[in-house]
A and B are shown apart, each in its own frame.
Chain A
């Protein structure tokens, strides 16, 4: 690759030959001139910042781990763009070109990653799970509990729900029943299979939601030892795409 220099034809490679080489050199010269232009110095940083602001405005929440790649790419784009701004040496065309390119590519990659999270990422709806039915639950009364997610929680379409269930002794001062307790969870939403799943206290069940439904209902049936009375609640509810 040629070294950047002062005059207009300095960018031409001394080893280039033929029409194609001349055309390629012309294109490269145009790019390098554009990259080196004082007005282009701030462009990658502005682009990266705009992407960050746009992402912040549309932030869909959900677990932090799904934003790791976006975070890395955004950080890279901002760093490269900042380095591009700070590098004021007029002869560093190669370095400046690489920094600009890395920043722009990282910004674009970050934006695409963010769009992927927006469209298919996990959505934490734990706070929107409503519990219907009387507690505590026991084995003898054959009572069930229903966990319900209403339409507002399901605004973003996802095809599965991961539910984490906490089961605790109703009276923590009494004998504990946790080792003998489990629950069967079944999807009660019409149009989807029940998918009965046994979970231990603190366990997780994953349900395919199928077609988009107005609300999701999950029945909880407790299995425990004689005389045990337990409280059940959802400690995690995450919509996701399988």
Chain B
């Protein structure tokens, strides 16, 4: 049996121990809260290597030949990443998976003729645009039936899923056009060239001109466009605003330089041949870059 005098020091020790435990618990909580409060994850460029999703079946913009990526998207990715001290590690991404590979953290960036839209800006951040283009029509070279918008009524027009081109032609004003979808661009080209079950292929003119570079038996119908201009951006998951702003700044400088013109006309040489005003038609304005880059919705 212990006396009260003997219990007192023991009680004080226990109280001290409890206080120490409470202090440790508080410190742990504070550290966790501080860690949670750090909203910005490590930079995507920290390792110097950035995984980039790109297209593999779009000559001129994103294509793979003998395991090598080339095209304007690829050049843009290389140029912009070089200016932030990183280099791209390209991987193939189908059009319909461009958002999913970012939200699923399978890729750091997507540079794949990916149009900036209000809906996509809610889910992803974009640095861009690095190019702007209208939706056009690709036909067989010797087919002259389609010259103006109404000529497409009753014709079979091929598109592929996950693109804004498919969305534009779904509008009620185009209900008389027989639009159908194939899994990808290559299938649509086969339908137009080989099987001849398609009268036309519709997507962005930049992509269509790229197709003509490897398919001389196809041509883009001049002065025939649908919908509004598509603005291509470099997409990334939300939560990397600092990285996004670095890309935006690099892009702003790049788009305003002669390097942009050189890279564009090298990758998409068929466009300067067909369009004398290609630089003003396809080069984005600096205000547009500011309005669409690294935001949850466009600024006016």
**Residues on the A chain within 8 Å of B231, using CB:** 175-176
Give the dominant DSSP class at B's interface: mixed
Total interface residues on A, using CB and 8 Å? 24
Q: Does A17 contact B (CB under 8 A)?
A: no
Alpha-carbon separation in the docked complex, A168 to B291 (Å): 14
Least CB distance from B131 to A in Å reads 12
Interface pair A227/B225, CB less than 8 Å apart: yes
Total interface residues on B, using CB and 8 Å? 26
Interface pair B298/A176, CB less than 8 Å apart: yes
Alpha-carbon separation in the docked complex, A227 to B135 (Å): 10
**Residues on the B chain within 8 Å of A225, using CB:** 228-229
**8 Å CB contact of A226 from B115, B119, B171, B228:** B228
Q: Does B85 contact A (CB under 8 A)?
A: no
Interface pair B229/A226, CB less than 8 Å apart: yes
**Residues on the B chain within 8 Å of A1, using CB:** none
**Residues on the B chain within 8 Å of A229, using CB:** 228
**8 Å CB contact of B292 from A168, A176, A201, A228:** A176
**Residues on the B chain within 8 Å of A167, using CB:** 300
Q: Known contacts A175-B230, A225-B228: does B167 contact A203 (CB below 8 Å)?
A: no
Give the dominant DSSP class at A's interface: loop
**8 Å CB contact of B116 from A176, A180, A200, A228:** A176
Q: Which of A169, A173, A201 has the most CB of B within 10 A?
A: A173
Q: Does B227 contact A (CB under 8 A)?
A: yes
Interface pair B229/A179, CB less than 8 Å apart: no
Interface pair A227/B292, CB less than 8 Å apart: no
**Residues on the B chain within 8 Å of A203, using CB:** 300
Write 17 A-B pairs (CB below 8 A) sorted by A numbering: A169-B118, A172-B117, A172-B119, A173-B117, A173-B164, A173-B167, A174-B167, A174-B227, A176-B121, A178-B299, A179-B285, A179-B287, A179-B300, A200-B300, A201-B300, A226-B229, A227-B228
The 5 closest A-B pairs by CB, nearest first: A179-B291, A200-B300, A227-B228, A172-B118, A201-B300
Residues of A within 8 A of B (CB): 167-169, 171-182, 200-203, 225-229
